[in-house]
Structure 1
Amino acid sequence: MADAVASWHTNEFPELRSAPPWVMQEMIAAQPELAAPILADGSPTVAAIAEDIASALDAGRPVTVVGCGTSEHGAHGVAALIAAAVALKHRALVRARPAFTAALDPAPGFCLAVSHDGGTRATELAVAAARDAGARTAAITHDPAGSVATAAELVLVTPNHDESWCHTVAYTSALLAGAAIAALLGGSIVARPAAAHDLLRAATAVEADAAPIAERLADRRVVLCAGAGLDHVTARELALKIAEGARQPTIALELETVLHGQLAGHEAADGLILVAVDDRADRDRLARRAAHVARAAAAIGLPVAALLSSEHDAALPSELTPAGRLVVDLPDPTDLDRGLATLLAGAGALQTLTLQLAHARGTNPDLIRREQAPYRAAAAAGESSSDW
Structure 2
Amino acid sequence: MSWHTEDYPELREGPPWVMEEMIAAQPALAEAILDAPSPVAAVIGREIDAALAAGQPVTVVGCGTSEHGAHAIAALIAGAAAPEQRSLVRARQALTAAVEPAGGVCVAVSHDGGTRATELAALAARKAGAKVAVVTHDPAGSVAATADHVLVTPVHDVSWCHTIGYTSALLGGAAIAGPVDAGGGSAARDVLAAAIALDAAAVAGQLADRRVVLCAGAGIDHVTARELALKIAEGARQPTIALELETVVHGQLAGHEAADGLILIAIDDGTPEAQRVARRAGHVAAAAVAIGIPVAALLSSSYDTALAPDLTPAGRLVVDAPADRLAALLAGAGALQALTLALAHARGTNPDLIRREEAAYRAAAAAAEDPSGW
TM-score (norm 2): 0.98
2-side partners of 1:342 and 1:31: how far apart?
A: 15
More deviation, 40-49/299-308: 40-49
Instruction: Identify the match of residue 187 of structure 2 among 188, 195, 198.
Output: 195
Matched residue, 2:317: 326
CA shift at 1:285, angstroms? Answer: 1.2
CA contact (8 A) 1:179 1:191 kept: no
Alignment of 1:246-257 (within 5 A): 246-257=236-247
Residue 207 of structure 2 aligns with an amino acid whose one-letter code is: L
Matched residue, 1:124: 119
2-side partners of 1:152 and 1:104: how far apart?
A: 18
Matched residue, 2:56: 61
Matched residue, 1:86: 81
CA shift at 1:183, angstroms? Answer: 1.7
Alignment of 1:171-182 (within 5 A): 171-182=166-177
2-side partners of 1:161 and 1:284: how far apart?
A: 39
| Superposed CA offset, 1:75-123 (max 9, x none) | 0000000001011111000000000000001100000011000000000
CA contact (8 A) 2:74 2:90 kept: yes
Partner SS state of residue 178, structure 2: helix
2-side partners of 1:128 and 1:385: how far apart?
A: 16
Moved beyond 3 Å, runs of 4+: none
Instruction: Identify the match of residue 264 of structure 2 among 257, 274, 278.
Output: 274
Instruction: Identify the match of residue 348 of structure 2 among 337, 358, 362.
Output: 362
CA shift at 1:191, angstroms? Answer: 7.2
Matched residue, 2:38: 43
CA shift at 1:190, angstroms? Answer: 7.7
CA contact (8 A) 2:42 2:178 kept: no
Residue 274 of structure 1 aligns with an amino acid whose one-letter code is: L
Matched residue, 1:229: 219
2-side partners of 1:191 and 1:236: how far apart?
A: 29
2-side partners of 1:154 and 1:57: how far apart?
A: 18
Matched residue, 2:308: 317
Corresponding pairs, count: 373
Partner SS state of residue 143, structure 2: helix
1-side partners of 2:151 and 2:157: how far apart?
A: 16
Q: Report % sequence identity.
A: 72
Instruction: Identify the match of residue 373 of structure 1 among 330, 335, 359.
Output: 359
Matched residue, 2:289: 298
Matched residue, 1:241: 231
2-side partners of 1:47 and 1:346: how far apart?
A: 26
CA shift at 1:41, angstroms? Answer: 2.7
CA shift at 1:283, angstroms? Answer: 1.6
1-side partners of 2:183 and 2:83: how far apart?
A: 20
CA contact (8 A) 2:217 2:265 kept: yes
CA shift at 1:245, angstroms? Answer: 0.3
CA shift at 1:35, angstroms? Answer: 1.0
Partner SS state of residue 203, structure 2: helix
1-side partners of 2:42 and 2:312: how far apart?
A: 44
CA contact (8 A) 1:183 1:190 kept: no
| Change in 2 beyond 3 A, CA 1:190/1:298 | farther
CA contact (8 A) 2:35 2:183 kept: no
Partner SS state of residue 238, structure 2: coil
2-side partners of 1:385 and 1:149: how far apart?
A: 17
Q: CA RMSD in A?
A: 1.1
| Superposed CA offset, 1:177-228 (max 9, x none) | 11111124xx9x7871010000000000002xx1011111100000000000
Matched residue, 1:342: 328
1-side partners of 2:40 and 2:321: how far apart?
A: 29
Partner SS state of residue 220, structure 1: coil
Instruction: Identify the match of residue 298 of structure 2 among 287, 301, 307.
Output: 307
Unaligned runs of 5+ in 2: none
Residue 234 of structure 1 aligns with an amino acid whose one-letter code is: T
TM-score (norm 1): 0.95
CA contact (8 A) 2:113 2:142 kept: yes
Unaligned runs of 5+ in 1: none
CA shift at 1:174, angstroms? Answer: 0.4
CA shift at 1:47, angstroms? Answer: 1.3
Matched residue, 2:338: 352
